[in-house]
Structure 1
């Protein structure tokens, strides 16, 4: 039976391997080391001119990641002067929506976010949103939700009990509105034409939403390049070439953290993907030849450790073929 990242870390820390490889602060030092800026180049049919895309994934702002770390990541991304910035999920990793539910459990639509209650009163979270608000790019800043975002919306079991809240959509709607006020646009089964030669779509989280790539890319021009944001890379496996053509399409993901803990000559003992190492990090492909890129992410989840798996801001340098 596969084990989770938390189970692996717990077992490892209980034995000599953990004491030798992760104890002594080595894993923590790697977890909080400055993020790398990793540039990757690829040709993308449909483009008529180059585009530089900065990818920030898995920030996990919360108990293990503070504003100072986020500030450094934002500054590093801005210094690269990208044309487009993508936030591919797991922005939050904290129960900021833990106040009691309304009596009627009323849900708020993202389309009526101004009518939603505003639960985001935590001072640290306000500072976090302020840092995200610094992000600017000529083609815009876009994002999508991840599974830990849904945990922060109280979509998962409430920390004080075991029941799911019925009013969790109002928290999602509120954060949607707060990000929108900072010109960060969350795409759920939606798309936008960024340039005549470039279309961007985004889908909801695989675990807690109902991702529909075909719907997200439905309005893409036939001859334009296509980018798709999906927090979870497993969406790529069965994605058809008619939706995301191998030559002109690319899906960008995070979620796996590259395993977060990797061992010499072995790799990551745990990758939170149904397909294991196949979608751990870097350039990947689905079974129909569809292309994807999986970021190792920036923050940490479960435990404040990274081993041989440094955090990264990704810069995708995409160019026309030839």
Structure 2
């Protein structure tokens, strides 16, 4: 490790622990007033365990059971850092208004706890109650006998531990109701590794995803993170889900389908290379997990582009960050001839909580004219 990286690590470590201390101190002050607890030892041990459970789960496989706790605690940390400064300020203002300190701490603490519970309940609902968003678009190209195409698209399912079999069944049920001609899955189908996916026999349920023109997907960054790309592709192949690796197909003599490797792969092909020697008279539909290259896709002749990755920040106000990072971080944008779609995702990364976003499936009805 270089000197610069060492200093960088130390600074992050100190900042992280300073924030944890601030959160922990607030919790202890409220506990002491509300329940007259005097010995902080048990509280401190529990707080440290919760705060480091996610990091521990990533360091060793035998600690992976802590991952669920760690995921949920990430949301606690985020909303603590948003709510606690306001709570502390409110306590200070109440004491200035001659409210006894213990009374101010108890009242404000109880209100803050109630707000936490509302946030988590609402976030759980948004995460586990997916909706179908519908779009109708026209593409001024027509080949073969096909005049229309109904696409069902779901991204960022993160199937595994918390996005489990029940959530997968919701996906299958809702996609079946759409009755699509084509199903597209643009990346992050699993949450890192295959262990939970295979242990829960999720492929059996996922095999029910069927469409007349097939089911196709691409790799997301999390398939790479798990280090089991080959095994994942083979698992998908067994259930007739074709993962496209910088590949192009002509489907039903009517349109081209392009599938890019994820941006994580530094050797992936550019849109320009992928669309070389392709007949531009055909409608061109593409999947690219991360929506970083809308301009390149449009200039290369793509007519419809599907992406995910952003989760629309997943937990507000993170959407303000993704909005700055991407030309389109969620929703629909027409860019010259190209119709771009970025989904907030069907699943979630980390805590099963969505604030300011919703788990979703896209139904896109295409008219070729």
Question: Which bracket does the TM-score occupy, shorter chain normalised?
Answer: 0.7 to 0.9
Q: Which residue of 2 is the match for residue 159 of structure 1?
A: none
Q: Select 1:224's aligned residue among 282, 295, 307.
A: 282
Say yes or no: does 1:34 pair with 2:123.
no
Report deviation, 1:26.
Answer: 2.6
- Tell me, yes or no, if structure 1 residue 239 matches structure 2 residue 297: yes
C-alpha distance 22-313 of structure 1, shift in aligned 2 (>3 A): farther
Of 198, 202, 215, which residue of structure 2 is paired with 1:128? Answer: 202
Q: Which residue of 1 aligns with 2:179?
A: 81
SS in 1 for 2:293: helix
Structure 1, unaligned stretches of length 5 or more?
A: 1-5, 98-119, 154-170
Aligned partner (choices 311, 315, 318) of residue 363 of structure 2:
315
Question: Whose relative contact order is higher, 1 or 2, with alpha carbons under 8 Å and at least 6 apart?
Answer: 1
In the alignment, which of 154, 158, 163 is matched to residue 60 of structure 1?
158
- Rounded Cα–Cα distance in structure 2 between residues aligned with 1:175 and 1:294: 23
Cα distance in 2 for partners of 1:177, 1:91 equals 14
Aligned to 1:199: 256
Deviation of 1:139 after TM superposition, in Å, equals 0.7
Answer whether contact 1:176 1:186 (CA < 8 A) is retained: yes
- 2: distance between equivalents of 1:88 and 1:42? 19
**Residue equivalent to 1:108:** none
Whole-Å separation in 2 of the counterparts to 1:39 and 1:54: 9
How far did 1:8 drift? 8.7
* Between structures 1 and 2, the one with greater helix share: 2
Per the alignment, residue 102 of structure 1 pairs with: none
* In structure 2, C-alpha distance between the alignment counterparts of 1:20 and 1:300, rounded to whole Å: 24
Aligned length: 266
How far has the Cα of 1:219 moved from its partner?
4.7
Structure 1 residues 96 and 222: alpha-carbon distance in aligned structure 2, compared to 1, 3 A threshold: closer
Determine the structure 1 residue equivalent to 2:320.
269
Q: Cα deviations across residues 174-214 of structure 1 (Å, max 9, x unaligned)?
A: 22122112111111110110122311000011133424223
Are residues 46 and 20 of structure 1, via their aligned partners in 2, closer, same or farther at CA, if it must alter by over 3 Å? Answer: farther
Question: Is structure 2 residue 339 aligned with structure 1 residue 281?
Answer: no
In structure 2, do the counterparts of structure 1 residues 195 and 220 end up closer, same or farther at CA, with 3 Å as the change threshold? farther
Residues in 1 aligned to 2:229 and 2:116: alpha-carbon distance in whole angstroms = 36
Give the TM-score normalised by structure 1.
0.74
Q: RMSD value over aligned CA atoms? A: 2.8
Task: Measure, in 1, the Cα distance between the counterparts of 2:198 and 2:253.
Answer: 41
Q: Where do 5+ consecutive residues of structure 2 fail to align?
A: 1-72, 87-111
C-alpha deviation, 1:27, in angstroms: 4.1
